[in-house]
Amino acid sequence: MAARKRASTQSELLSRAVKAGRSALRQAQRRLPPDVRKQIDKTVKEGQKTIHVAIKQVESRVDRTARQADLEKAMKRLDELTRQVRNMASAAAASAAQARAAGTRPATRKAQPRKAATRRKPAAAATAPKAPARKPARRTTRRPARPTPRASDSQSNGS
């Protein structure tokens, strides 16, 4: 295997650039008088504030535009769905009117024709003993009310 090259990473290059920029800034600050330096700092701060305000305005405009576009898409889709529902309702009404005129009810579903049974059971299956039949479910019915003791006494006496 070949030995890996020692990579000069971007972080090393970045740190070098930062170091060079800072040293250049210090040199420029030494050459400028203090009052000019303060004025430049103040101008830079004001410029940064202006840029931040402009960025916020652009972001709010983009958000508003995006929301408006989303709203327009949703409204367009809603209009399309409304149109489809109206078409379906008018088609259903038309088919109902035709059915009333013809004197039949509108069919909601077409019945499938049943296939005729063409296979016969094998002879062995016909002679095979059948499985025992299940007992029918037990019925729960009310019993007739018992006769009162007086009525039963008169019936048991034979009268």
Tens-place pLDDT, residues 35-74? 888 898 899 999 999 999 999 999 988 888 888 888 888 8
Please give the biggest Cα pair distance in the chain: 143
DSSP 128: S
Rounded CA separation 34/40 (Å): 10
- Residues in the chain, overall count: 159
pTM value is: 0.34
Average pLDDT, the chain: 76
**Neighbouring residues of 96: CB distance < 8 A, sequence distance ≥ 6:** 106
pLDDT tens digits, one per residue of 108-138: 666 666 666 666 655 555 555 565 566 666 6
Amino acid at 44: V
Buried/exposed code over 5-29 (b: 16+ C-beta within 10 A; e: otherwise): eeeeeeeeeeeeeeeeeeeeeeeee
pLDDT of residue 156: 52
